Chain A
């Protein structure tokens, strides 16, 4: 039976973390930013413009895959995103403790 560790290794061997996830991450960020700031006009009633946004994000994000061919990208992303996740958890803990203390002082 395949465990999570082995499954992660398999995915890494296939290149999911090195190619696909950086590609998808950049595609989604770029697509979201383009849809929000609308550099080529409003996309809601215009199919051609929404296709332009999607296509442009897709084509640009493909270059991230090429970068992954030359540089060990998964190592960098794992390191940075892992650290950021921990920071986010720490901030949540600070907020929870602050809210708890505030709640306590309100009761008094």
Chain B
């Protein structure tokens, strides 16, 4: 279900719920924060902005470019203070396709900087996720 694209990632997820409900989880601040981050302010309309407090350390923000309920959402994406992926530098595109009573969600994260550029600039700024996320999922030490 996951394929590699150049400077992009694509993830497909089948959800046993109608697109209207899925779209609400993507655009409604209260629903959104239940699956991503610890705080979110979303103004989901074309030209509107969002700000997501991912983990009280990293903040993601950007601008909505396409808001077409309940089918398509395009927004710029970046982390505040990040040397190579600042706000406005990458794009996240989410499409919802109904399939009987379910929805197929496809997310594409486009415009990622190449590895060389990132290595050059990212010193001192570590990303969340990856092994760190697995580590955190393990029993907390205190």
The answer to whether A and B interact is no
- Residues on B close to A: CB < 8 A? none
- Residues on A close to B: CB < 8 A? none
